Structure 1
Amino acid sequence: MSVPGRNPHLGGGPNLVNIEVMRNHSELFRAECMRLISEADKSCKRLQNNDNKQLDQRVRDIQFLKKELELKLEEIILDIDVLIALQSRVEKALEACKDPLRVTVLCLEERMKRLPSERLHDEVDRELLKEREAIEGVASLLQRVIEQTTEQIRLNRSAKYQLEKDLKEKYEAQCIDNFCASMTTHSIENLQHHCQCVCLDGLTVTPKQWENISDINIAKAEQQKNNSLSLRALVEALLEQTSADMQKQFQATTAAFQQNVQEIKSAKSQMEDQLAKILLEFASQQRISGDLQVAVTENEHALGLAQARLALRRQRPAKEQCHDPAQSRLLAEVQQLAFQISKLREAVAQSEKEQRALVRCQLELQKNIEIKANSLYIDEVICAQHREPIIIHNF
């Protein structure tokens, strides 16, 4: 009995039907594999393309933030430079306070060397004390400004450090992402020999957190920039005001010195005029005293003559002892001459008294003139020499 559809010539050979089925199945599987390969290739290219797009977008995001960071870094660096220059101005202004303060203290000390009668708390002393107080106040204020500026520079440098650190990390991330975007399947063969996969799951941040980090650094830098602007405006106004205050007070003190010098010169001139008059009067008094002495001598001689005549007339004979007009005249002359001599001697004594008073006035005037000359020398020469080189410029 024969099997239907079986070629009798094949005898006990292979089952062609099964082989055909297997061949068809293989062809179908091969077609499926080709389709799978095609789809996998398309999917791989699509995924790589999406990766490249995401990497490019990421690079653009990094570049955008880098520009923002670089702009803010330039601004903060400029602010630091401006603050350093401003701090240098303040330090120079503080240094410029030393000489005026030293001169003011020297002038106060020199004026304490005046003679006790002149050691008064006058307008010059009051202005010098105001000047010392003003300069010390300005110096104290400038010292505090230096401290504030130093602190602001420190804060700016801290913000600068954070920006530079952020920029460095952004640069490294950009380089890595650029390299990732340029990588191909062939470029990873050498890379695999040098790189190991590092798990950073515990250190990853979300895109929002990543963006916030730079925003925070930029915001801090902006805040310090605004603080710097406020401080700079304050310091500029302060430098202008303090220099104006010092100049105004220095001028007021100088005016007080000039006024005091004029008053001393005027008083000294008046005393010198009085001294000249006293000396003239003393010389006149000496002359009148001499004239009085001569008059006393002449009157004494005349009195002696009259008394001699009277004595001689007493030697007349008894009957000739007549109280005649000549006798009466001689007696009256003696009486009058004695009275005149008494008056002249009183005048001589009074003249000597006047001379002693004039000498006392002379000595007092000379002493006061010396005192005024000493005060004038201190104010017009010593203090003026100390103050002359001092020029208070705008800070």
Structure 2
Amino acid sequence: MRIVSVLDHSPQQGGGASLVNIEVMLNHSELFRAECKRLIMETDKACKRMQDNDNKQLDQRVRDIQFLKKELELKLEEITLEIDVLIALHNRVVKALEASKEPLRVTILCLEERMKRSPSERLHDEVDIELMREREVIEGVASLLQHVVEQITEQIRLNRSAKYHLEQDLKEKFDAQCIDNSCAIMTTHSINNLHGLKNKNTASPSLTLTPKQWESMSEINIAKAEHQKTNSMSLRALVESVLGQTAADMQKQIQATTTAFQLNIQEIRTAKSQMEDKMPKVLLEITSQQRIREDLQLAVTENEHFLSLAQARLALRRQRPGKEQCHDPAQSQLLAEVQQITAHISKLREEVAQSEEEQRALVRCQLKLQESIDTKASSLYIDEVICTQHREPIVIHNF
């Protein structure tokens, strides 16, 4: 609207015309003021309406952020708890791995000690077989537990990575919520207080994400955390099963080895006892052989006396007068007696020699028996004292 100025009319016009122009100008001015007031009211209403819409949108945005924050916080709590549980499980597996070292050391010690037995006793017996199996089982368990430790360590790393992204997302959501809350309560009177914040705004340029993209980024973090939690729970179940099975396998094998030791110890003790029972009999037989040999030697001496007597009689009878030296029955008897006694002495001497041989054989038997007893005693000491005492503290419980 254009207001006609008084200057638009020439001074020659009459005063009536000037009044008309003034009236027109006043009307225009009044209309202009009315239009300005209307414009002011409309812009004020528009601004208030836009502010109300802003507040509604900001409130909705804050609610959206709060919803996602709750989802993120819940998932963060779950993954944090899962990390703590997994760390505790990791410590259990490490302790189980450490606990397997002592049984393995004892098993190797038993194998080494049993190699110190005498060659005759160094047989690949049932105890050696069970000890070898025990070593294989324990080494297998240790290798498996070491692999499990590495798996748990990697899963903890993945869980912590998921936790880190959740924490970062939550931090950004918190900052965004604070900013949007500030925007929601901001008024024209409080805007001056934010001048200082404008200079501090160093955030990177907007990525111009759509709300769907913004939401999907948090959903991706939540899905990753859920995926890692699921993997972690599956791993925990597997590890619990492994711990129980490995403990059972070790306990079963250790018990089998202990049983083999007990049976072997009983066999050695029985064999040693039987040998010790034989020893007095052998010693008694050696003494008996000594006595019988003395009796044989005495019999030889007595028979030699009888032989000397018969020979003396024959020699004396040779001194008979020539015609008296007939081969009478007495002569025949004496000659036969000499032959018989000579045969007896020869036989007795053979028996003396045989007795000496028997006694030497018995002495060799005694020495061999004593050596066997000592060997059994040494084997018994190794199995019953050294090995058993070292194995007694080994008790495998569930890890």
Length-normalised TM-score, structure 2? 0.90
Structure 1 SS opposite 2:120: helix
Which amino acid in the other structure matches residue 28 of structure 2?
H
1:20 aligned to which of 10, 19, 23: 23
Distance, in Å, in 2 between the alignment partners of 1:256 and 1:381 is 15
2:209 aligned counterpart, secondary structure = coil
- What is the alpha-carbon distance in structure 2 between the residues aligned to residue 308 and residue 145 of structure 1? 105
Q: Which residue of 2 aligns with 1:100?
A: 103
| Matched position secondary structure for 1:185 | coil
Structure 2 counterpart of 1:124, from 104, 124, 127: 127
> What SS does the corresponding residue of 1:117 show, helix, strand or coil?
coil
**Counterpart-to-counterpart distance in 1, 2:243 and 2:203:** 58
Q: Secondary structure at the match of 1:177?
A: helix
> Where in structure 2 are there 5+ consecutive unaligned residues?
1-13
Shift of 1:31: 2.3
Within 2, Cα distance between the matches of 1:292 and 1:199? 124
State the 1:293 CA deviation: 1.0
User: Could you say if the C-alpha distance between residues 158 and 200 of structure 1 is closer, same or farther in structure 2, counting changes exceeding 3 Å?
Assistant: closer
Change (3 A) 1:36 1:367: same
Compute the displacement of 1:233 (Å).
0.6
Secondary structure of the 1:113 match is coil
Query: After superposition, where does 1:53-68 map in structure 2 within 5 Å?
Result: 53-68=56-71
Provide, for residues 124-168 of structure 1, a one-character-per-residue CA deviation record: whole Å limited to 9, x for no partner.
112111111111111111111111111111111100000000000
CA deviation after TM superposition for structure 1 residue 84, in Å: 0.6
Q: Distance in 2 between matches of 1:367 and 1:284?
A: 22
- Aligned pair in 2 of structure 1 residues 30, 200: CA closer, same or farther (>3 Å)? farther
What does residue 243 of structure 2 align with?
239
CA distance in 2, matches of 1:378, 1:219: 61
1:7 alignment counterpart: none
CA distance in 2, matches of 1:40, 1:368: 119
> What does 1:1-395 align with in structure 2 at a 5 Å threshold?
12=15, 15-192=18-195, 194-195=197-198, 202-318=206-322, 321=325, 323-395=327-399
Describe the SS at the equivalent of 1:266: helix
Worse-matched range after superposition: 259-268 or 353-362: 259-268
2:176 counterpart SS class? helix
Q: Distance in 2 between matches of 1:322 and 1:353?
A: 46
Distance 1:285 1:190 in 2: 126
The worse-fitting range, judged by mean Cα deviation, of 43-52 and 153-162 is: 43-52
1:119 deviates by 1.8
Task: Give the direction of change, closer, same or farther, for the CA distance of 1:201–1:346 in structure 2 (3 Å limit).
Answer: closer
> Offset of 1:354 from its aligned partner?
1.1
What's the counterpart of residue 6 of structure 1?
none
Q: Structure 1, residues 277-327: CA drift from partner, whole Å, max 9, x if none? A: 222211111111111111111111122223223333444455654655544
The alpha carbon displacement at 1:189 in A equals 2.4
TM-score (norm 1): 0.91
Amino acid at match of 1:116: P
Partner AA of 2:117 in structure 1: R
Shift in CA distance, 22/199, structure 1 to aligned 2, threshold 3 Å: farther
Q: Give 5+ residue unaligned stretches, structure 1.
A: 1-10
Q: What letter matches 1:252 in structure 2?
A: A
Q: Which moved more, 1:186-195 or 1:161-170?
A: 186-195
Cα-Cα RMSD: 2.2
Letter of the 2:126 counterpart:
E
Cα drift, residue 22 of structure 1: 2.3
- Alignment CA distance shift 1:382-1:18 (3 Å): same
Aligned mates of 1:115, 1:76 — CA distance in 2: 61
Distance 1:247 1:199, change over 3 A: closer
Within 2, Cα distance between the matches of 1:241 and 1:198?
57
How far apart are the structure 1 equivalents of 2:133 and 2:203? 73
